[in-house]
Structure 1
Amino acid sequence: MSSEKIRRYGDELYDALVTRTPVAPLTDRDPTLTIEDAYRSQRHMVERRVLAGETIIGKKIGATSKPVQERLGVHQPDFGQLTSGMAHREGDAIDLSGLIQPFVEAELAFVLKEDLNGPGITAMDVIRATDYVVPCFEIVDSRIDDWKIKIQDTVADNASCGVFVLGNTRGDPRKLDITLAGMVLEKNGDVCATGAGAAVQGGPANAVAWLANTLGALGIPFKAGEVILSGSQSALIPVADGDEFVCTIGGLGSCRMTVMRKEAVWQAH
């Protein structure tokens, strides 16, 4: 595929992000679009964000669990870049106004203390290189109209990254069983999803190793200090103004999040 078309798709998706106006599926318009082409478009979209003042602070794995794959109609993992404009801490007011068609998922985030350069990375290498893990939320979003995506669409759209929220409770993965630990996701006080680390490619550290090796083969290392989202342990949950979510991971702790559109936040003050 021509470089001009690659850039045009990346520009379309960046403009959709900024204007909050979704675009028609790329694969409907161009059935010849390959996954490799889509990653090149993703790179251009992320470069636009960096040029606008954001920095790359980590990576994410998408579509790792069966519930998410079935919901999205994709059947292999993908990856995206995390930028400073996506990052939130527990306790921040999460504004939905900048998103188009969001869903919530709960997962485990790794914060690295050492670089990881694949290929050849194992799950144990990931554990050794991790400073700490935290429960977290990712609010995924799609710049593709009505989430009508194939794997190429979500890849080009930076793995449907929206924003993410890191919990305040830090854990040492050398002292936690992050594979067997259960996860409970509550929405407005009701349990809406459960899962376990094993649902994510046999364990979150396995998923992070897969990503380190996949990116390493492309010449992209993990850097110390980066945040790595290891993939959803829950189904995708719809989100609306005023919703309150709690994600609890056994042996680690909880992350709480409240979402509200900016207009509603202003009215509350």
Structure 2
Amino acid sequence: MSDKSATAQLLLQARKPGKALTALPKSALPADKAQAYAAQAELVSLLSIHSGRPVGYKVGCTNATARQMLALDSPFSGRCFEKELSASPATIDAGTLHMIGIEPEIAVRIGKDLAPSKNWQRADVIDHIEAVMPSVEVVESRFSSWPLMGFLSAIADNGVHRHLVLGNPVENWSADSIEQTAVTLTANGITVREGVASNVDGGPFGVVAWLANHLNAMGTTLAAGEIVTTGVMTDIYDSAPGETIVAHYDLPAVVELQVKPL
């Protein structure tokens, strides 16, 4: 059994510039998903000291390509923090990051608790959603060996989440319109990625249902007021310092992120 406190401390220190890990030592490597999420919970407590309270969740590996990259059989979750949440347009300092992974996504704000009273399905969760927003997640692994360090290390590393940028809430949305949403991602005005919301498993609302069931199984409830960003609509884009990233959604909406140069 790994020492979840030791794992969390190692991952916390690895967030510092120049301190990325190649791999966790055997004594700190989670043996299974339960141990990985236990280490993540310890890390979340440590991160909350400087990043503020958890305000929601990211869901990763919500498509087959991403799962294949990490040899994973299901999505995973991580926590989002108050001080790592920005409104578009936003700026992030490249000098504080080991990698700058850009993921255009759809985020939702939960309006009513999704309690463990049922097996949640896509159709069930729609009435529990208060708002839908375009989003860009910045993902960052604290491992220089990404993605070879494997999914257990990725889960323990708070699901490789770093920052979330939210656009304005979508007005007069419907489930069908959101699930058919397309996005074009540009870097310094050049198209680098394209995708659609239906690329994620079951669409964004199917991802919310998965998260609700996942949390219920761990004794937690997806609660009113929490934000969920539901997984990348495109392939991940590896950004570089000095780039202006814009996700153009046909909602219509835009989410903009400036990556400060080193």
Cα pair 1:27 1:153 within 8 Å, conserved: no
Q: Residue 37 of structure 1 aligns with which residue?
A: 35
Q: Residue 7 of structure 2 aligns with which residue?
A: 9
Match for 1:24: what amino acid? T
1:31 deviation in Å?
7.0
Report whether the alignment pairs 1:134 with 2:102: no
Comparing 79-88 and 115-124, the one that deviates more: 115-124
Secondary structure of the residue aligned to 2:186 is strand
Secondary structure of the residue aligned to 1:93 is strand
Report whether the alignment pairs 1:199 with 2:199: yes
Aligned equivalents of 1:111, 1:32: Cα separation in 2:
31
Q: Residue 120 of structure 2 aligns with which residue?
A: 121
Q: Residue 106 of structure 1 aligns with which residue?
A: 104
Aligned equivalents of 1:175, 1:144: Cα separation in 2:
37
Aligned equivalents of 1:86, 1:165: Cα separation in 2:
8
1:207 deviation in Å?
0.7
1:27 deviation in Å?
7.6
Identity %: 26
Comparing 123-132 and 152-161, the one that deviates more: 123-132
Match for 2:113: what amino acid? D
CA 1:53–1:31 in 2, change beyond 3 Å: closer, same or farther? closer
Structure 1 segment 180-199 matched on structure 2, within 5 A? 180-199=180-199
Q: TM-score, normalised by structure 2?
A: 0.90
Q: Residue 54 of structure 1 aligns with which residue?
A: 52
1:20 deviation in Å?
5.4
Cα pair 1:188 1:244 within 8 Å, conserved: yes
What's the Cα RMSD here?
A: 2.2
Count, aligned residues:
260
Alpha-carbon deviations, 1:1-48, whole Å to 9, x = none? 15xx12111111012124551113238777772111111111100011
Q: Residue 223 of structure 2 aligns with which residue?
A: 223
CA 1:134–1:50 in 2, change beyond 3 Å: closer, same or farther? same
Structure 1 segment 208-219 matched on structure 2, within 5 A? 208-219=208-219
1:54 deviation in Å?
1.5
Report whether the alignment pairs 1:68 with 2:66: yes
Q: Residue 251 of structure 2 aligns with which residue?
A: 251
Report whether the alignment pairs 1:91 with 2:89: yes
Structure 2: gaps spanning 5 or more residues: none
Secondary structure of the residue aligned to 2:5 is helix
Aligned equivalents of 1:75, 1:211: Cα separation in 2:
15
Cα pair 1:212 1:222 within 8 Å, conserved: yes
Q: Residue 149 of structure 1 aligns with which residue?
A: 149
